[in-house]
A and B are shown apart, each in its own frame.
Chain A
């Protein structure tokens, strides 16, 4: 079952008209998903995936949809099949910190669902997304019945813990906003095969305000820092893509040397 249809694009597939919500090419079955082998949680034995198929609800969301809110009682997990999701935490005065941008393959709401504690983060889509939702009781039963899945969950949680420690280190030990921004750009530039390049490229999917929320500073500071980086020719903007012209200088900024 696929829900969430508002605006549809019509495709012809083997002579059958299919509705694709928000322009997404919906993955109907985990068993036939081409990305399965590349994703920690999804790469399960067939028997486990068949059980998972029976408990999941495939849903499409537009950009800007909120999957769950920090502090909410956990209803279940959200496996991100397509699109990206912004994960953030919020202070009582409204100040927001973006922890990370979740990519396809990630299981959201996992630790809250397992522990029964409230969701620790707010998850908001930044692209049209396809998500497989599994209710909490179904997921816990699934983990009890399939030790392979339990292992995969442990692996995902380990990765999230690693990221959280990285955030604490970055936020708590970086001296300046410039250091934090440099670290963030270097981290982004190490993905998608760009790491080895002399001048790696970073696709900027976030606004200056959102980048500020990632590094715990103000939008004005981020704008000023980018202007400075461009002036010093450490980076160059080409539309929404940032080219890192001087990796050495950026690394020096990141380590405050």
Chain B
């Protein structure tokens, strides 16, 4: 069950520690107007793999399990998302379907932003766009690490750099 409550990001004490949230005041004020704050119980599915992307979910409190599924129903966990992360970002930006299923592991507080509002927000606030690019890069690093561990069975040790 979800209930909507409004609370300002400007008052959040964890703001400086979180990449996406650490935005200039004007950007955060704008973000406050486009987000919906949700309180969700454990096991809530925020979105499912294959569903058309409707928006992003900023994890304010609580953790979420991100997983993929085969046609036969076998599930593989990609990773556990922690507070401060923005879920559904790549799908919302590209307008495609969610690549993973996100299910809450804890009772959580989530800030949801609809896709069209997110795109408008990013176009109007360059700083936020840069933060999003950095977040996506980090997501990709983690995804490649998962590919490495699943495909090669171990994690990489740094190789010596070539000239």
Within 8 A of B (CB), among A148-163: 150-151, 153-155, 157-162
Chain B interface helix/strand/loop/mixed: helix
- How many A-B pairs have beta carbons closer than 8 Å: the answer is 152
Interface string of B121-144 (1 = CB under 8 A from A): 011001001101110111111011
Which B residues lie within 8 Å of A114 (CB)?
A: 133-134, 137
> Please, how many residues of chain B have a CB less than 8 angstroms from a CB on the other chain?
48
Separation of A97 and B133 alpha carbons in the complex (Å): 26
Assuming the A-B contacts A91-B153, A144-B126, A162-B96, are A71 and B144 also in contact, with contact meaning beta carbons closer than 8 angstroms in the complex? Answer: no
Q: Say if the beta carbon of A2 comes within 8 Å of chain B.
A: no
Q: Give, as a whole number of angstroms, the nearest-CB distance from A240 to chain B.
A: 26
Interface string of A66-100 (1 = CB under 8 A from B): 10011111000000000000000111100101010
Q: Say if the beta carbon of A206 comes within 8 Å of chain B.
A: no
Q: Which of A159, A173, A174 contacts B94 (CB 8 A)?
A: A159
Which A residues lie within 8 Å of B158 (CB)?
A: 71, 118
Most buried by A among B134, B144, B150, B161: B144
Chain A interface helix/strand/loop/mixed: helix
Separation of A99 and B159 alpha carbons in the complex (Å): 18
Which B residues lie within 8 Å of A115 (CB)?
A: 134, 137-138, 141
Q: Say if the beta carbon of A23 comes within 8 Å of chain B.
A: no
From A97, which residue of chain B is reached at the shortest CB distance?
Answer: B151
Check A70–B156 contact: CB distance below 8 A. yes
Within 8 A of A (CB), among B87-146: 89-91, 93-94, 96, 99-100, 122-123, 126, 129-130, 132-134, 136-141, 143-146
Check A164–B140 contact: CB distance below 8 A. yes
Most buried by A among B123, B137, B156: B137
Q: Which of B72, B140, B159 contacts A161 (CB 8 A)?
A: B140
Separation of A97 and B144 alpha carbons in the complex (Å): 11
Q: Which B residues form the contact surface with A (CB < 8 A)?
A: 68-72, 74, 76, 78, 89-91, 93-94, 96, 99-100, 122-123, 126, 129-130, 132-134, 136-141, 143-148, 150-154, 156-162
Q: Which 7 A-B pairs have the closest CB atoms?
A: A158-B90, A164-B143, A173-B70, A111-B137, A157-B136, A165-B99, A71-B159
